[in-house]
Amino acid sequence: MRPWAFPIALQPGTSREPVFQQIAQAIRGDIRRGRLRPGDALPGSRSLAQTLAVHRNTVLAAYRELAAEGWTEAEARTTCVARDLPEAPPAPARVECGLGYALEPPPPGPARPNLRAQTPRPLDFGGGLPDLRLVPTDLLARAYRRALELPGLLGYGDPRGEPRLRAALVRMLSGMRGLAAAEDCLMVTGGSQGALDLVARTILRPGDRVAVEDPGYPAAWATLRAAGAELVPVPVDEVGLQVEALTARLQEGRVRAVYLTPHHQFPTTVTMSAPRRLRLLELARQNRVAILEDDYDNEFHFEGRPVLPLAGDDPGGVVIYLGTLSKILAPGLRIGFVSGPRALVDALAARRATTDGQGDHALQRAVAELLEDGLLQRHARKMRRIYLSRRNALSEAVQRHLGGIATFDLPPGGMSLWLSVDPSLDMEAWADRAQRAGVAVYTGRRFDFHGRPRPNLRLGFSALGETELEEAVRRLALALPR
């Protein structure tokens, strides 16, 4: 593979130093500031001479001077930065920007466990992510290759997303989720997080109050805060967000929106009851509160009757519906969507046009093909069976190894269990001991709005096989603080 050119700024005719010394000085500076690190190979003398438009002997003279000063050494017919030089210290963080204003750090995102190499593949309970080993990459690759062959698909496109994917998603939402969406009322986004970010930056103004579930989803909180929202926590119980508590928050001041996960509440997995759904919709209609409904794992409901989204029964037109294909396929594909009033989708598209312009239309066309051919639906049905079996396997393993200290309600859907643990246990110490044993877990503190300790543990079952789940719970039990 041909290496990249290695540019060095020279000043011929304006500097009194010979050119070879200018080259040597530039390389010294690159080593001091960390551009070149101990052991890095310098370009060959012929290559660098060609890049700088100088004679090769000039470069060789610079290299000899660097070697004599101890900056470089010969290694396998290559000139390298001397390995016994100390690493350049990292540049200190700059608070003051050169443009004259202070840069504030971004709001913290979701905390993730530190998984430095304890085992080749840590047993990660944490995220409730899909099993990436089961993604139909062969089907996706073939569809993507066909999409790339279509003329014009690699040019600019509609910021609302690839039309075929929007049409396929509308059919999916109608057939599987009971939504009467239209193509011009739906937009494809970079995952559900990208959808929430676009919506928040479009409908919120700095200082707007937004109600959120507590416990809830820290990544969504960070996104809303980044849009300038003031977050108002509302407690969650065994049947979802407490609408009575939300009513009290409204009496304290106007609430612009409420963000919630009513189908499988994150992280407790409870499903919001029908009476509360009706009360919430009426409350939002009366007070003109936007409901941001994040239906992140709708496909994985295992038992009981289907639970339709709030957006499917929204006479007041207050629900903005957020969804994703990340749980069916993979989060790295970044395929999400938002459905809402046409005027909102037009505003979202206009805002997107000023930033990234559009998503990956070739990938979106490939996913549309999988939906049109029924392949994605077939994969979702397969994964539903697998995840149901894994849910049951994890349930049995927890009862077998942790039955004396943890209880839970078997969730009718979702991708994780929410354990209530003996409150006398030090949850954070347990999580640290488990991590050293190669098991990653999330404690209840991660999902508490104020970061308070909670006697809970969230165990995702979708990314681990049944044998792995058994081993992970066994290690978790062995890691209990004594």
pLDDT at position 30, please? 85
pLDDT digits (tens, 9 = 90+) for 406-417: 999 999 999 999
- Return the axis-axis angle of helices 56-68 and 19-32, rounded to nearest 10°: 50
- What is the rounded distance in angstroms from the CA atom of residue 395 to the CA atom of residue 31? 56
**Domain match, 434 and 296 both:** no
**How many structural domains comprise the chain?**
3
Q: Which tokens go with 132?
A: 């990436």
Residue among 3, 9, 11 nearest 47 (CA):
3
Query: Which of 350, 374, 398 corresponds to the end of one domain?
Result: 374
Q: Which tokens go with 467?
A: 């044998």
pLDDT at position 94, please? 45
**Domain match, 330 and 400 both:** no
- Position 11 in a domain: no
**Domain match, 305 and 184 both:** yes
pLDDT at position 34, please? 80
Query: Which of 346, 374, 402 corresponds to the end of one domain?
Result: 374
**Domain match, 187 and 278 both:** yes
**Domain match, 359 and 394 both:** no
- Position 9 in a domain: no
pLDDT digits (tens, 9 = 90+) for 223-268: 999 999 999 999 999 999 999 999 999 999 999 999 999 999 999 9
**Domain match, 415 and 343 both:** no
pLDDT digits (tens, 9 = 90+) for 156-182: 778 898 999 999 999 988 888 888 888
- Position 4 in a domain: no
Q: Which tokens go with 119?
A: 């085992």
- Position 446 in a domain: yes
- pTM of the predicted structure, to 2 decimals: 0.81
**Domain match, 348 and 470 both:** no
Cβ-proximal residues to 190 (8 Å cutoff; 6+ apart), any chain:
334, 336, 356, 359
- Position 384 in a domain: yes
Specify the CATH number for the domain of residue 47: 1.10.10.10
**Domain match, 274 and 398 both:** no
**Domain match, 347 and 409 both:** no
**Domain match, 191 and 259 both:** yes
Query: DSSP 3-state assignment of 340?
Result: coil
> How would DSSP label each residue in 35-101?
SS-TTPBPPPHHHHHHHHTS-HHHHHHHHHHHHHTTSEEEETTEEEE-TTSPPPPPPPPP-B-TTSS
Residue range(s) defining the domain that contains residue 250: 135-374
**Domain match, 187 and 326 both:** yes
Residue among 441, 417, 429, 443 nearest 480 (CA):
429
- What is the rounded distance in angstroms from the CA atom of residue 26 to the CA atom of residue 8? 7
Pairing between strand 78-81 and 72-75? antiparallel
- Segments of the chain with pLDDT less than 70: 1-5, 12-15, 86-121, 127, 357
Specify the CATH number for the domain of residue 307: 3.40.640.10
Alpha carbon 432 to chain centroid, angstroms: 23
pLDDT at position 111, please? 47
- Position 210 in a domain: yes
C-alpha distances in Å from residue 30, one per residue of 34, 181, 300? 6, 57, 53
Side-chain-facing half-sphere of 363: CA atoms under 13 Å: 15
- Position 322 in a domain: yes
Specify the CATH number for the domain of residue 465: 3.90.1150.10
Burial (CB count <10 Å: 0-12, 13-18, 19+), residue 432: middle
Query: Which of 374, 397, 424 corresponds to the end of one domain?
Result: 374
Q: What is the percent of the chain with per-residue pLDDT over 90, rounded to a whole number?
A: 57
pLDDT at position 117, please? 40
- What is the rounded distance in angstroms from the CA atom of residue 152 to the CA atom of residue 174? 30
**Domain match, 158 and 27 both:** no
Pairing between strand 230-237 and 209-214? parallel
**What single DSSP character describes residue 186?**
E
Element (H, E) at 469: helix 466-478
pLDDT at position 150, please? 80
- Position 88 in a domain: no
Alpha carbon 288 to chain centroid, angstroms: 30
